[in-house]
Copies of this chain bind each other. A is one copy, B any other.
Amino acid sequence: MSFTYDYPRPAVTVDCVVFGLQDQRLRVLLIRRARPPFEGQWALPGGFVDMDEDLEVSARRELQEETGLRDIFLEQLYTFGTPGRDPRGRTISVAYYALVNTADHPPRADDDAAEAEWVDVDRAHKLAFDHDEILATALARLRGKVRYQPIGFELLPRKFTLSQLQRLYEVILERKLDKRNFRRRILSMDLLVELDEKQQDVSHRAARLYRFDKRKYRRLEESGFVFEL
């Protein structure tokens, strides 16, 4: 079967930059390409958009097909369409970025990918297509956005300690934060719920666990509150 048009049309794909946190490092989920072009090279998960499918749905479908991930935080990032970015012909890629808690989502290669792995963002080079550039764009966006939108929590387990949260920000923003100032600040926003639970299985004093109250944030946001760290 084939499809014919009066004018030439570019192919349209989606690509996903999925960020996770592992061993105190920021990681990105890459797949090893199972077929040409760039066979055997690392690439962002992604694929062609189906004809009757919304773009975001498309991104979620590809992510699930290639890495098993579902129901995660996902936002549109930028659209890349420079001619020549795909050797198979003009291809426009709508890129998305996602944040996941890696503990809940072990990497796994499904259908189309030979292999899937969490790679340290500082070591993710020489990716297929223009994926280095897409990754760089996603990183810049994450660094910019994390400061004025409470999206960092998406990278942590549902229950976390304040130290974990602080380390998360330190890793993303690439600078040390003062412990007392950080705590004062984040607690003063009144978005965290203090749980009656402590960390388990640590060989030092166990820290109190908290969770992020997304509903409360939504409510505050509507009445003009702005998260800012």
Chain B residue at minimum C-beta to C-beta distance from A5 = B3
A138 CB → nearest B CB, Å: 14
Main SS of chain A's interface residues?
loop
- In A44-97, the 8 Å CB interface with B consists of 48-49, 51-55, 76, 78-79, 81-83, 90, 92, 94
A63 CB → nearest B CB, Å: 17
Q: Give the contacting residue for A10; candidates B49, B81, B83, B90; CB below 8 A.
A: B49
User: Is the Cβ of B48 less than 8 Å from the Cβ of A7?
Assistant: yes
CB neighbours (8 Å) of A5 from chain B are 2-5, 9, 11
CB neighbours (8 Å) of A4 from chain B are 2-5
Any chain B CB within 8 A of the CB of A12? yes
Interface residues of A, Cβ cutoff 8 Å to B: 1-12, 48-49, 51-55, 76, 78-79, 81-83, 90, 92, 94
- A79–B6 Cα gap in the complex (Å)? 24
Q: List 6 A-B contacts (CB under 8 A).
A: A10-B12, A10-B49, A52-B83, A55-B82, A55-B92, A81-B94
Number of copies: 2
CB neighbours (8 Å) of A81 from chain B are 12, 49, 54-55, 94
A53 CB → nearest B CB, Å: 7
Chain B residue at minimum C-beta to C-beta distance from A53 = B83
Q: Give the contacting residue for A8; candidates B51, B55, B92, B94; CB below 8 A.
A: B51
- A51–B92 Cα gap in the complex (Å)? 10
Q: Give the contacting residue for A76; candidates B7, B79, B90; CB below 8 A.
A: B79
- A81–B55 Cα gap in the complex (Å)? 6
CB neighbours (8 Å) of A8 from chain B are 3, 51
User: Is the Cβ of B6 less than 8 Å from the Cβ of A9?
Assistant: no
User: Is the Cβ of B76 less than 8 Å from the Cβ of A54?
Assistant: no
CB neighbours (8 Å) of A48 from chain B are 7
